[in-house]
Amino acid sequence: MEDMHYVIDTFFALFAMTLIILMVPGFAMLEAGLVRTKNVTAVLTVNTLIYIVASLGFLLIGYSLAFGNWENDSMSKWAAFLFQMAFVGKVINIMSGGVSERIKIIPIVLFALIASILIYPIVVNISWGADFLKDTFLDLHMYDLAGSTVIHSTGGWALLAAILIIGPRRGRYGKDGQVRVIPASNIPLVTLGAFLLWIGWFGFNGGSVGSISSKESADAVALTILNTNTAGLAGGLIVAILGYLRYKRFDITMILNGALGGLVAITAGPDLYGIYTPILIGLIGGLLVEVMVPFFDKLRLDDPVGALSVHLVNGIWGTLAVGIFASNGDDITLWGQIKGILVVAVFAFSVSYLFLRMINIFFPLRADNDEQLEGMDLVECGMEAYPEFKKSL
């Protein structure tokens, strides 16, 4: 019988891992659809190389740093690794999307390597892992089931550091502060990518319960997936309604980002809530996307895919939400959540900033204006994404 738990939890981890890997093409399609055609191939290349470099880095170094060792009694240690490995690329995917259309490939891939062997593993260690800082201030007691902070905010802080260094895309902001709209080039790809992410999230959050082989854990997994989905629905809904009320139009890229915002927000505690609370968490998540996307533009933080609003802001919101809606005064407290957010913020932002600055010395992050005008595809990849289609831009 004991073996059956081992077998089923191994199988379930592999199932969840598979769904998460679907997020690799998910992010790739989402971002490829949101940028201009002249930068599509570069975006796809960056996403692919991140998956390669980050996964290998995590296999060789990062995983051991994050968790101390590979041992696991409750499921195959290889399955446990695969599930965790599926996470690591996401952190850098989150970041790379936001610096699209002007980032050079070499430096972002170098950063992916550093993030996968050092930055992300340390965040995991102090949040979920073996914790070599046990009984110090950095022994976090934040509840973050599937990584609102550990994954999404970490990626978001790294993105903020990168945007501060790299600056906005050529021509994005006028001299008088006006924002030039740069339309997404392929809406079907955006939609496909967003739904692949959405489906991948079932594995991300559901798998993070860690077991499905008892009645209680099966319930927890199912509730987690239900609540995850609900928050995504609510996030999309509120953006659709607000957008329509304001502009009499339905902006599908904003609606999908609203849904993703809701999904990020629920990620810290999808197993903790009843089935209606996620509606509220998702509504606020979507609202934050609606409000923060123009706000970041006002700050001239140019983020072509809205990743700061979706991942950073909602990562924070989701982690706070656990403290607000699920505190038990014992191991989950609002202060514990805030402390976790702050520690990860300081660490992830400052270390990312430092490494990006160092990389920038040897491999400048930013493509210059001529390169941006030509497009990253020809400059970095020597090929166009759609060479046969006549362009009107």
Residues 259-288 that bind a second copy (CB under 8 A): 259, 275, 279
Q: What is the smallest separation between the CB atom of 213 and a second copy, expressed in angstroms? A: 6
Tell me which of 252, 301, 326, 338 binds a second copy, using CB under 8 A.
252
Report the residue number, 192 or 334, with the smaller CB distance to a second copy: 192
303 forms part of the interface with a second copy (CB under 8 A)? no
Of the candidates 25, 107, 304, 323, which one interacts with a second copy according to CB under 8 A? 25
Q: Is residue 21 involved in binding a second copy (CB under 8 A)?
A: yes
Would you count residue 39 as binding a second copy (CB under 8 A)? no
20 in Cβ contact with 203 (< 8 Å): yes
Classified as helix, coil or strand, 99 is coil
> Which of 138/199 has CB closer to a second copy?
199
What is the size of the binding site for a second copy (CB under 8 A)?
109
Q: Is 382 in the site for a second copy (CB under 8 A)?
A: yes
The dihedral formed by the CA atoms of 349, 352, 357 and 359, expressed in degrees to the nearest 10: -170
| Binders of a second copy in range 313-342 (CB under 8 A) | none
Instruction: Tell me if 22 contacts a second copy by CB under 8 A.
Output: yes
Does 12 help bind a second copy (rule: CB under 8 A)?
A: yes
CA–CA separation, 328 and 320 (whole Å): 14
19 binds a second copy (CB under 8 A): yes
Question: Smallest Cα–Cα separation from 374: which of 32, 36, 33?
Answer: 36
Q: Please, what's the b/e burial string for 221-249 (b: 16 or more CB within 10 A of its CB; e: otherwise)?
A: bebbbbbbbbbbbbbbbbbbbbbeeeeee
Apex 268 CA angle, 28 and 120, nearest 5: 60
Report the residue number, 167 or 364, with the smaller CB distance to a second copy.
364
Cα–Cα distance for residue pair 198/203, rounded to 1 Å: 10
35: left (phi over 0), alpha (psi -120 to 50) or beta: beta
| DSSP code string of 145-195 | SS-IIIIIIHHHHHHHHHHHHH-PPTTSB-TTSPBPP---S-HHHHHHHHH
Q: 211 or 352, CB closer to a second copy?
A: 211
Question: What's at 220, amino acid-wise?
Answer: A
Q: Of residues 198-237, which lie at the interface with a second copy (CB under 8 A)?
A: 198-199, 202-203, 206, 212-215, 217-219, 221-223, 225-226, 229-230, 233-234, 236-237
Neighbouring residues of 193: CB distance < 8 A, sequence distance ≥ 6: 25, 26, 27, 28, 29, 30, 31, 32, 33
Q: By C-beta, is 153 or 230 nearer to a second copy?
A: 230
Site map 166..205 versus a second copy, x via CB under 8 A = -----------------xxxxxxx-xx--xx-xx--xx--
Minimal distance, residue 338 CB to a second copy, in Å: 30
Q: How far is the CB of 195 from a second copy (least distance, A)?
A: 4
Give yes or no for residue 380 binding a second copy (CB under 8 A).
yes
User: CB count, 10 Å around CB of 144?
Assistant: 26
Determine if 73 is a binding residue for a second copy (CB under 8 A). Answer: no
CA distance 263 to 198: 8
Query: Pattern of binders to a second copy over 136-155, x per CB under 8 A?
Result: --------------------
CB 370 to a second copy: min, Å: 16
Q: Is 4 helix (H, G, I), strand (E, B) or coil?
A: helix
**CB nearer to a second copy: pick between 10 and 154:** 10
Minimum gap (Å) between residue 13 Cβ and a second copy: 8
Whose Cβ is closer to a second copy: residue 130's or residue 222's? Answer: 222
**If binding is defined by CB under 8 A, does position 44 make contact with a second copy?**
yes
Q: How far apart are the first and last CA of the chain?
A: 64
Q: Does 357 bind a second copy (CB under 8 A)?
A: no
By three-state DSSP, how is residue 38 classified? Answer: helix
